[in-house]
Amino acid sequence: MSTESAAVVDASIVVGAARTEEYVPYLKGKKVGLTINHTSTIGDKLSMDSLLASGVEIVRGFGPEHGFRGNASAGAKIGDEVDEKTGVPLVSLFGEKYKPTKADLAGIDVMIFDMQDVGVRFYTYLSTLHYIMEACAENDIELIILDRPNPNDGYIDGPVLEKGNESFVGMHPIPITHGLTFGEYAAMINDQGWLANGVKCKIKVIPMLNYHHGKPYTLPIPPSPNLNTQQAILLYPSTCLFEGTDISEGRGTLFAFSVVGSPKLQGNYAFSFTPKSIPGMSENPKHLNETCYGLDLRTYDTGIFTQTGRINLSWLKELYEAYPDKDQFFKGSFKHLAGNDKLAQQIKDGVSIADIQKSWEPALSEYKQLRKQYLLYND
């Protein structure tokens, strides 16, 4: 994050990880596993380093997409390794597998889960939470979740994922912006029977202090390499849909998810950008080394999302209508991001945004009611 963005972090919010008095004494004398990444900090230190210094015995770490210390490119497969700084063995959950095996969990008494989410269905840390819960339930391991804010929880919107469209970028019947923290979401996963064979995970949530849903929160650490600004994080629920199209979502630039465009839109837009290979961010982005023409959203007023309670579909409709080879616009992955087979067809058919939004009902309203059962914080 920029210094300017970081300066507006709400200092009154105390994240779960910082409330060490609530869980560190409980960990003493136990063998601990950590599912964390670079956002899992206590003060200015990675929680792995802080907990080890506190005398907690950490026997194994588990890393999601982008790796344990957050330095892997988007989508890059990661192998098991040993943490260079601490010597703790690390198991990758974004390489050969998404779920820890029984052997991976051997000797662990309690698992800590602590990562910064962005509150969007297709962000893969949510799927990592699911698989960690499932593995812990199957191996009778308690899971402690150190809760953190959801920067996109000022509104709940998007089509609810429909059966048959599940994938690692969407496992559960929830809308695009789900309005929950990880601690709240874990209770929903458990209670709704979404884990394999309906198993239940024994969870304990260390909640935040001074937090409520919709409270503005600027993330102090980028949650992943391509969500490197607060603007990108707030645009992400809308612009990530372009990943399922031939339109570049800005990967290969330093402002991914804040610009969208394609070489085929030359003549339609004055703004342009050229995706490059950027190690640690996007090494083989869409339209590599090609000039893309489209929309610059870096100064878009993201407050509109919470004011309207809606993601933005107008950009998707606009670029589809401007795109010359319409049969090449949507890719197979789009249905996994949308959560259904309908949205692409609705865009193709020129259905109005209002009518598209109506088609999300009654599922969206039913989800909003369901969500209320699991809230740890006020709306």
Residues 181 and 246 in one domain: no
Amino acid 2: pLDDT: 36
Residues 74 and 139 in one domain: yes
Residues 175 and 321 in one domain: no
Residues 13 and 138 in one domain: yes
Domain assignment present for 218: no
Domain assignment present for 312: yes
| CA geometry: angle 325, 342, 194, nearest 5 deg | 130
Separation CA 348–CA 28 (nearest Å): 58
User: How far apart, in Å, are the Cα atoms of 206 and each of 26, 99, 124, 282?
Assistant: 12, 23, 22, 34
Separation CA 233–CA 228 (nearest Å): 8
Count of residues in the chain? 379
**122: its two tokens:** 């297709």
Domain assignment present for 371: no
Strand order in the sheet with 110-114: 81-82, 89-92, 57-63, 31-36, 110-114, 142-146, 203-206
Separation CA 78–CA 96 (nearest Å): 8
Q: What is the CATH number of the domain that holds 264?
A: 3.90.1150
Domain assignment present for 25: yes
Q: What is the CATH number of the domain that holds 80?
A: 3.40.50.12170
Residues 202 and 234 in one domain: no
Q: Is the bond into 175 cis (omega within 30 degrees of 0)?
A: no
Could you identify the residue written with the tokens 């890393």? 63
Max alpha carbon distance in the chain (Å)?
Answer: 66
Residues 200 and 242 in one domain: no
Nearest Cα neighbor of 167 from 271, 244, 227, 102 is: 244
Residues 151 and 297 in one domain: no
**Single pTM value for the model:** 0.93
Amino acid 336: pLDDT: 97
Q: Are 16 and 208 in contact (CB under 8 A)?
A: yes
Residues 247 and 289 in one domain: yes
| One pLDDT digit (tens) per residue for the chain, 379 residues | 333 333 345 669 999 999 999 999 999 999 999 999 999 999 889 999 999 999 999 999 998 876 676 555 555 566 678 888 889 999 999 888 999 999 999 999 999 999 999 999 999 999 999 999 999 999 999 999 999 999 999 999 999 999 999 999 999 999 999 999 999 999 999 999 999 999 999 999 999 999 999 998 999 999 999 999 999 999 999 999 999 999 999 999 999 999 999 999 999 999 999 999 998 888 899 999 999 999 999 999 999 999 999 999 999 999 999 999 999 999 989 999 999 999 999 999 999 999 999 999 999 999 999 999 999 999 9
**28: its two tokens:** 């003493």
Residues 177 and 294 in one domain: no
Amino acid 26: pLDDT: 97
Look at the chain and report how many structural domains it folds into. Answer: 2
Separation CA 129–CA 203 (nearest Å): 12
53 lies in which domain range?
A: 3-206
Residues 34 and 129 in one domain: yes
Q: Are strands 272-273 and 292-296 parallel, antiparallel or unpaired?
A: antiparallel
Q: With residue 97 as reference, give the H or E element that holds it.
A: none
**64: its two tokens:** 């999601």
Domain assignment present for 376: no
Domain assignment present for 330: yes
Residues 277 and 174 in one domain: no
Domain assignment present for 211: no
Residues 304 and 189 in one domain: no
Domain assignment present for 134: yes
Amino acid 79: pLDDT: 65
Q: Are 83 and 61 in contact (CB under 8 A)?
A: yes
